[in-house]
């Protein structure tokens, strides 16, 4: 969708909104799924509400995950963006890091966006391909490699 300066944005779609605006429009009239897989959204930082709503829109039973005991009932998990060091610290403080690692090792399907992808990695690379380690606490998922973008405000 393209808008011209001065045009009001079309808010009839859940994918069209300006940052900071509430999620409004067609999605709010649709019932949440009760039949799809249970997909957790790690709710420590990031766009949790947006991820929960979009997962619900495509048929998942999306739940915000804030406690380690919630991991047992999931069919999959999404780790949203944010700041990987902060999310890693919070995973440790709230006792969720080891239970999350265990579920991933058992084969729990996972998707990470931005910092969530870095946290799922067993190795983090800089844009030039050299290895990087920071205060973030990767879950160590085998075969996953996260790469920092060449540009951006959150470069290491």
Q: How far apart (Å, rounded) are the C-alpha atoms in residues 72 and 115?
A: 23
The region of weakest confidence among 48-52, 54-58, 150-154 is 150-154
Q: Are 79 and 119 within 8 A, CB to CB? A: yes
Q: Evaluate if residue 83 carries a pLDDT over 90.
A: no
Closest-CA residue to 137 (of 115, 122, 119, 114) = 119
Q: Classify domain 31-147 by CATH number.
A: 3.40.50.880
Q: How far apart (Å, rounded) are the C-alpha atoms in residues 13 and 107?
A: 34
| Residue with the two structure tokens 């944005």 | 9
Q: Are 17 and 23 within 8 A, CB to CB? A: yes
Q: How far apart (Å, rounded) are the C-alpha atoms in residues 90 and 112?
A: 16
Average pLDDT of the residues in 128-137: 61
Average pLDDT of the residues in 6-31: 48
Closest-CA residue to 45 (of 95, 17, 84, 75) = 84
Average pLDDT, the chain: 74
Can you say whether the dihedral through the CA atoms of 82, 34, 95, 100 is positive or negative? negative
Of the two residues 42 and 36, the one the predictor is more confident about is 42
Of the two residues 108 and 46, the one the predictor is more confident about is 108
pLDDT for 5 = 43
Find the length of the chain.
156
Q: Are 88 and 112 within 8 A, CB to CB? A: no
Closest-CA residue to 121 (of 89, 79, 156) = 79
Interval 43-54: pLDDT, tens: 998 889 889 988
pTM higher than 0.95: no
Domain ranges of the chain: 31-147
Q: Evaluate if residue 22 carries a pLDDT over 80.
A: no
């Amino acid at each position: 969708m393209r808008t011209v300066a001065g045009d009001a944005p079309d808010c009839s779609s859940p994918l069209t909104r300006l940052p900071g605006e509430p999620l409004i429009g067609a999605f709010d009239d649709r019932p949440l799924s009760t039949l799809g897989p249970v997909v957790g959204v790690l709710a420590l930082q990031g766009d949790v509400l947006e991820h929960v709503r979009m997962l619900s829109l495509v048929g998942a039973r999306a739940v915000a995950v804030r406690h380690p005991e919630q991991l047992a009932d999931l069919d999959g998990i999404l780790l949203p963006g944010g700041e990987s060091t902060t999310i890693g610290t919070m995973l440790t403080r709230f006792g969720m890091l080891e239970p999350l690692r265990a579920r991933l090792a058992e084969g729990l399907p996972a998707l990470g966006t931005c910092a969530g992808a870095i946290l799922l990695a067993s190795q983090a690379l800089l844009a030039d391909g050299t290895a990087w380690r920071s205060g973030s606490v990767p879950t160590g998922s085998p075969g996953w490699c996260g790469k920092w973008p060449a540009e951006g405000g959150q470069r290491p």
